[in-house]
Amino acid sequence: MLTMEHATTTPVRSDSSLGPAPNIVVPPPGPRARAAVERDRKVTSTSYTRDYPLVARRGSGSVVEDVDGNRYLDLAAGIAVCATGHCHPRVVAAIQDQAAGLIHICGSDFYYEPMIALCEKLAGLVPGSERQRVFLCNSGTEAVEAAIKLARYASHRKGIVAFHGAFHGRTMGALSLTSSKARQKLSFAPLIPMVAHAPFGSIDGIVNQIFRQQMVPEEVACIIVEPIQGEGGYVFPPGEFLPALRELCDRHGILLILDEIQTGMGRTGKMFAFEHAGIVPDIVCLAKGIASGMPIGALIARESLMNWPPGAQGSTFGGNPIACAAALATIELIESQYMQNAARVGPHLRQHLQRLSDRHACLARPRGLGLMCAVDVVDANGKGDPAQRSRIITAAFERGLILLPCGEIGIRFVPALSIEPSQIDAAMDVLDNAIAACTA
């Protein structure tokens, strides 16, 4: 329930056309939200995870309004998807213009300008001396599935190395690589064979465990890695890890796949997180932030690798004209201003998280790069406290702040790359009040 404490944060004006936020007019969930949740429970899959009863009606910038008229500051951005903020006018205009001309015709069968233009753009984003080719699909999971197939086809090998704590998706191939939560694999075995997992951040784990005990490097097609583990808890590897991994792959003729689905598209202050490590992967998987909410994923690989025959991979809806138009508008905005904003505002957010951690003993290990940040919730003994994390996230929601968990005990902060420092200030005030209420 709301208390007087909910009113202590002054709503800030922002890039939103909806008005100042946070602004709680009805204790959430309000009557319309409760009714919607009840309807949902009767018809939707029980596999959906809902952290709290937010029933969104519309969004603008970094502000979301629910069906009861409450306005929230959004520091989740649809799990790092709405890179340009909710309903950016230029993205909306691109979608509307394209929808008026051509909605679908299938890029696996025919040609159209938005798909060609987007593939040209994405191919030009990846550094390196060799030309890149692009395969478009509908999601990050599909990009990973395509990467598995391409790596096995191009290398003529079968083995795949992934990492403990990794999340690469939930379809059967991607799920075989995922290793963030055991319950995600419960009852779905057998998964695809020839997959091994190593400790994240450890080259020794690959060399001394996998290569010696499970599969020799000559039968390993690829190593797939998130430059920063996302669903696994926003885990940052040692700085030397990715360069050492690149060298290991080069030494044994293994393809290096970078899963940039959550870290890419300017999220860390560079277009791709791997650029911070000064390496170039063989294959890149993208999705989430590409198109500001339109469903699209991409697989980018060197031309010498992506030479599989017609029919080896395809997609009915992948790269549909509307998603391509949204992606082109999104990338232009990211390149022209929002990637730089992520690099500028990210340290401001991390300073806030450090101050909150100094102020509240239940917060630990503030960390981040650009606008991909997190903090852990712990008990009095420093042990992870997932129940307290849930209480804090719910209390923040009740006060007008949208947050999401990551890993077992983390709270992630992945706002739109367009977010303003004043909105970060207001959001951290709300979080401060929510934590105080949960620890009183």
Q: Would the pLDDT of 59 be above 60?
A: yes
- The Cα–Cα gap between 324 and 111 comes to 13
Q: Would the pLDDT of 185 be above 90?
A: no
Peptide bond into 29 cis (omega under 30): yes
Q: Which of 188, 252, 196 is nearest to 224 (CA)?
A: 196
CB 32 within 8 A of CB 54: no
3-state DSSP assignment of residue 65: strand
Q: Where in the chain is the domain with CATH 3.90.1150.10?
A: 4-88+338-439
Bridge pairing between strands 220-225 and 159-163: parallel
- The Cα–Cα gap between 201 and 220 comes to 19
For the domain made up of 106-319, give the CATH fold.
Aspartate Aminotransferase; domain 2 (3.40.640)
Task: Compute CA 406 distance to the chain's CA centroid, rounded to the nearest angstrom.
Answer: 11
48 burial class (0-12, 13-18, 19+ CB within 10 angstroms)?
Answer: exposed
Identify the band that residue 4 occupies on the pLDDT scale cut at 50, 70 and 90: very low
Question: Which residues are CB-contacts of 189 (< 8 A; sequence separation ≥ 6)?
Answer: none
Question: Which residues are CB-contacts of 73 (< 8 A; sequence separation ≥ 6)?
Answer: 21, 22, 62, 63, 400, 401, 402, 423, 426, 427, 430
Q: Would the pLDDT of 379 be above 50?
A: yes
pLDDT digits (tens, 9 = 90+) for 413-433: 999 999 999 999 999 999 999
Return the amino acid letter for 378.
V
Identify the band that residue 46 occupies on the pLDDT scale cut at 50, 70 and 90: very high
Q: How many CA atoms lie within 13 A of 394 on its CB side?
A: 13
pLDDT digits (tens, 9 = 90+) for 160-179: 999 999 999 999 999 999 99
CB 338 within 8 A of CB 418: yes
Q: What is the mean pLDDT of residues 384-395?
A: 98
Q: Which of 83, 53, 77, 45 is nearest to 64 (CA)?
A: 77
Q: Where in the chain is the domain with CATH 3.40.640.10?
A: 106-319
Identify the band that residue 229 occupies on the pLDDT scale cut at 50, 70 and 90: very high
423: enclosing H helix or E strand: helix 421-439
Return the amino acid letter for 389.
R
For the chain, give the mean pLDDT.
95
Q: Would the pLDDT of 14 be above 70?
A: no
| pLDDT computed for residue 266 by the predictor | 98
Phi, psi values for residue 234, rounded to 5°: 55, 60
Identify the band that residue 5 occupies on the pLDDT scale cut at 50, 70 and 90: very low
* Positions of E strands within 99-204: 132-137, 159-163, 195-198
pLDDT digits (tens, 9 = 90+) for 66-111: 999 999 999 999 999 999 999 999 999 999 999 999 999 999 999 9
CB 299 within 8 A of CB 137: yes
| pLDDT computed for residue 417 by the predictor | 98
- The Cα–Cα gap between 375 and 360 comes to 12
Q: Would the pLDDT of 154 be above 90?
A: yes
Q: Would the pLDDT of 6 be above 50?
A: no
- The Cα–Cα gap between 294 and 292 comes to 6
Identify the band that residue 181 occupies on the pLDDT scale cut at 50, 70 and 90: confident
What is the SS3 string spanning 320-374?
CHHHHHHHHHHHHHHHHHHHHHHHHHHHHHHHHHHHHHHHCCCEEEEEEECCEEE
- Pair of tokens at residue 300: 């980018």
CA distances from 374 to 203, 349, 405, 438 (A): 25, 10, 9, 19
Q: Would the pLDDT of 52 be above 60?
A: yes
3-state DSSP assignment of residue 66: strand
For the domain made up of 4-88+338-439, give the CATH fold.
Aspartate Aminotransferase, domain 1 (3.90.1150)
Question: Percent of the chain, pLDDT > 90?
Answer: 93
| pLDDT computed for residue 187 by the predictor | 86
Q: Which of 266, 291, 201, 290 is nearest to 414 (CA)?
A: 266
Question: Which residues are CB-contacts of 350 (< 8 A; sequence separation ≥ 6)?
Answer: 366, 367, 368, 373
| pLDDT computed for residue 262 by the predictor | 98
Identify the band that residue 434 occupies on the pLDDT scale cut at 50, 70 and 90: very high
Q: Would the pLDDT of 304 be above 70?
A: yes
